[in-house]
Amino acid sequence: MIDLITIVTPPLDDDEINYIVWRNGLKLNSRDGVAYYDNKDTKNLKQQNGIYIAIETNKRLKAEGSLHKFHNDISGNDRNNYNLFSMSEAKKTIDRLLFDKGINKENGCVYGYEIGLNLNMAKDCRAYLDKMKSVVDRELYANPKFINPRHRNERIKVTGFNGVRKYYKAYDKVHECMDKKRKVIPDGNILRIETVMKKLSNCLVTDFFDPDNLKKMVEAFFRDWRTLQFEQDIVTPKGTGRAKQQLCIDIMNTGTAEVLARAKERHKRGSLSDWEYRNIREFIANEWDIVKRSIAFIQSDEEKEFRELIKINYAIIKHDDFIK
């Protein structure tokens, strides 16, 4: 489940720096006359396993990369993260990564990480992404809404990027592989969901991968994603036309004031005719209070499938042996 992970250390002494530079083939650079080292140009070579290593000008080490992809890479598979990656595998893999890169496990701290899950869906991932609305985050006392960053053909939804410590992300994994021209493109419809955590404070690697903490992360991940809110199918009184049905959905989602304001703006621009605008205005004023009493929402097929897969995967991950 652990994907991207960022590890930092306190300032290293000269002997430690020389060893890390030698072991990882880091390149000497200079910033304002002060030396620093990194493998920015070579991190994607086979021997680097996609892990970025840098020793900054303040002599602190930073290591960043996908633990999931690293595991597949050293296991003789393609460097990918679209299969199942358990917490027990993550626990073993971090030890291998730190050993291979020559990083002291005892003083390394986890600064940020992603915890994710791949769901094999029955339909095209757009069918699920288009219906995702928000997540209820009880830890942050918030209900962050999903937005579309408007790239990758609208096959990704996130609840934020900059300036936030925690956010949620869902995207079409197969489309991402094609977009990035990966050598291997997985089959099927893989919806990947992730919780991203940034700016952790003094979280030692040993504490992060402690079985009790891994168990807490698993519980938190599934607790949060169980609260995912979808746009639901609507049941309206018999005889309600498609246009009024959509109007009801819009009102339920945004409120009468917002729907009326948008209609007024569209009418002003000429994209809504006089009679269309009048019908919306009169429906809200004269019919809505009566119609809304007879409206019912039901889970869509996409929501039902998502919740069933969350339940199945929780049972698999929960019974992993990482707690031993």
The token pair at 51 is 């892990």
Band (26; pLDDT cuts 50, 70, 90): very high
Asked if 195 and 168 touch (Cβ cutoff 8 Å), the reply is: yes
Distance of CA 98 to the CA centre of its chain: 25
Give mean pLDDT, residues 19-41.
92
Asked if 175 and 190 touch (Cβ cutoff 8 Å), the reply is: no
Asked if 179 and 200 touch (Cβ cutoff 8 Å), the reply is: no
Question: pLDDT at position 8, please?
Answer: 96
Mean pLDDT of the chain: 90
Give mean pLDDT, residues 258-282.
93
Question: pLDDT at position 324, please?
Answer: 55
Give mean pLDDT, residues 103-130.
94
Question: pLDDT at position 153, please?
Answer: 63
Q: Which of 48-52, 132-136, 137-141, 250-254 has the lowest mean pLDDT?
A: 137-141
CA dihedral for 121, 123, 124, 128, sign (positive or negative)? negative
Q: Which of 62-71, 86-95, 159-168, 225-234 has the lowest mean pLDDT?
A: 159-168
Nearest to 44, CA basis, from 140, 142, 172, 180: 180
Write the pLDDT tens digit of every residue in 171-230: 999 988 888 888 888 889 999 999 999 989 889 999 999 999 999 999 999 999 999 999
The token pair at 250 is 């819009």
Question: pLDDT at position 152, please?
Answer: 53
Across 6-15, 25-34, 163-172, 250-259, the highest mean pLDDT is recorded for: 6-15
User: What gap in Å lies between CA 93 and CA 213, rounded to an integer?
Assistant: 16
Strands 27-31 and 156-158: unpaired
